[in-house]
Structure 1
Amino acid sequence: MTTSTLLGRPHEVDLPGGRIRYYETGEGAPIVFVHGLLVNADLWRMVVPAVAAAGYRCLTPDWPLGSHEIPVPDANLTPAGVADLIAAFLERLDLTDVTVVANDTGGAITQVLLTRDRSRIGRVVLASVDSYEGFLPQPFTALATLAKIPGSIRPLTELLRIRALHRLPLAFGLLTKRPIPPEIVDSYLAPSRESAAIRKDLRRFLRSVHRRYTLDAARHFADIDIPVLLAWAREDRLFPASFAERLARDLPNATLEFIDDSYTALPEDQPKLLTESLLEFTRRYAAP
């Protein structure tokens, strides 16, 4: 079974500054998934089928974070700009009472989104995410520094053709406890390896990443009264439990659940447990 089959039918939609691809499957209340840096919709391939089967409409975009295949040269790729792209996606498809599910960098962008336009969002799942001072976390701050050097991204993408390097800390070694299947790694890395336009998009995002975005978002947390599930990897090596506990204190309607035997990429390491937490949360806070 191909990944596209798992995620549903592919579609494309025009948003301010460019076009993005997304996958859709299922019927019911909408759930929109937000992946992180240098991954794409395939991150959710082991979560979406069970969520759709439970009676939800799952929409899984390839956000322009370096593993997308459609360049967006005119899009604003700052964290605030990508947050506005998500808001535009919800508006363009006329989605309301949406559950947004985010992982890793996508969680930082979702926090920014919540402080800019949460009018169509009913609840949020933050599954081990960047926040506060941890955007980007070490050692990935090196990517933001590297991105300031013209032509610097291509040597890195070429180096990662060597599969033995994929378990290194600056690749996927800190993100997952277990190796990611080679065909999925190729899905994540091939776009930036093969396209100068995608590398340019990636550099634009990386050059703009700064903790001021998440720290500014945090100053508005007291105003965010929608339900938030913090599904956190207990063994997370990038975002320790203290980040989750701080978010739980600062967000007025937050629930914290720890998930065992996983690093940051919960959809890769523990998709079943993440799905169970997500479904329990959406049922508990379903619209009347």
Structure 2
Amino acid sequence: MTNWAGTSWRDPRLGAVKEAELPSGTVRYHETGTGPVLVFVHGYLVNANLWRALVPLLSPAFRCVTPDWPLGGHLVPMRRDADLTPPGMAAVIAQFLEALDLTDVTLIGNDSGGAYSQIAATTYPDRIARLVLNSCETPECSWPPDPGGFGLLKTTAAHPATYRALYQALRIRRTWRWRNTYGWLAKYPIEARAMESFIGPVLTDPAIRHDGRKAIGSVSARYTREAAARLTDRFAKPILLAWAAEDRVFPLPHARRFAERLDAPLKTIPDSYAYTAEDQPAKTAAAITEWARQLL
């Protein structure tokens, strides 16, 4: 069992904590480095700590902005009526970029953060100049993804009681490596402080559970398929697919076909599952840097 000492911990390498006041609510974020802007979009039930080993490798050349998006691992609840459906989350991303007056942004999305990034890039493209899809939903994937049994997350979100009950098992550390928790997302165990920051809020704060339940309960593959069609037809901006070579949740063959459809480069990251920033931060940083230097 854990005492959740790490719930509010954020790695200092991400930079000092700041807050952006958006129409949907308050989003806490971190910022470090100078240069072209990278904005990172994590997926469900993690937070800015997902990028804690990657950002120090990129910040010498880039301005790295890492928000805690309202997906269950955040600390400040959104407004009670905030729209956290996939289109609503895309709007939150756009609101955030506008609030910080960020332009010429490279948006980097991992896991379901890649799905939200696809929707944001095709719905609110003005401030987004480049897109990195890092082991995430493709048009061939379900959302939540079928591999690992993640569909249960949406099913139990139908009611507050079942949603709360589902996550109680995470109070026991050995469950963190189950395939339908984090075991198929990170090849190697995630450090305890980061794990506590990921799951502590949804376990201890009803308002955070409200946000998380709204977010996961509203996802659907139709949103990513629609966004993929718009990426193909209308998003005439550079896209990189940076994919885990051993991804067990978002299969690499899906990524290859998506890259061909988008006429975009695909860089594979060896010895990693979907959380490449956890398993192989140096190789992930090299893939992003090499691609970005050809464009900037």
1:173 and 2:179 correspond: no
1:79 and 2:86 correspond: yes
| Residue in structure 1 matched with residue 68 of structure 2 by the alignment | 62
TM-score with structure 1 setting the length: 0.95
Deviation string for 1:76-96 (max 9, x for gaps)?
100111011111111111111
| Residue in structure 2 matched with residue 191 of structure 1 by the alignment | 201
Q: Sequence identity of aligned pairs in percent? A: 45
Shift of 1:150: 2.9
SS at match of 2:266: strand
- Hey, what's the Cα distance between the residues in 2 that align with 1:284 and 1:134? 33
The 4+ residue runs of structure 1 with deviation greater than 4 A are none
1:135 and 2:151 correspond: no
1:30 and 2:37 correspond: yes
| Residue in structure 2 matched with residue 224 of structure 1 by the alignment | 235
- Hey, what's the Cα distance between the residues in 2 that align with 1:273 and 1:161? 32
Shift of 1:149: 2.5
| Residue in structure 2 matched with residue 249 of structure 1 by the alignment | 260
Shift of 1:27: 1.4
1:182 and 2:188 correspond: no
Shift of 1:207: 1.4
- Hey, what's the Cα distance between the residues in 2 that align with 1:86 and 1:8? 20
- Hey, what's the Cα distance between the residues in 2 that align with 1:246 and 1:214? 15
Deviation string for 1:191-248 (max 9, x for gaps)?
0011000001111111111111011112212211111110111110011112111221
Q: 2:295 is matched with which residue: 276, 285, 288?
A: 285
Q: 1:41 is matched with which residue: 42, 48, 53?
A: 48
Question: Are the aligned partners of 2:110 and 2:135 in contact in 1 as well (CA < 8 Å)?
Answer: yes
Q: CA RMSD in A?
A: 1.2
1:274 and 2:279 correspond: no
Structure 2 runs not aligned, ≥5 long: 1-8
- Deviates most, 214-223 or 185-194: 214-223
AA of the residue aligned to 2:145:
P
1:120 and 2:127 correspond: yes
| Residue in structure 2 matched with residue 95 of structure 1 by the alignment | 102
SS at match of 1:249: helix
Deviation string for 1:44-96 (max 9, x for gaps)?
0001111111x211110000011001101232100111011111111111111
- Deviates most, 127-136 or 17-26: 127-136
SS at match of 2:160: coil
TM-score with structure 2 setting the length: 0.93
Question: Are the aligned partners of 1:222 and 1:250 in contact in 2 as well (CA < 8 Å)?
Answer: no
SS at match of 2:118: helix
AA of the residue aligned to 1:86:
I
- Hey, what's the Cα distance between the residues in 1 that align with 2:57 and 2:252? 27
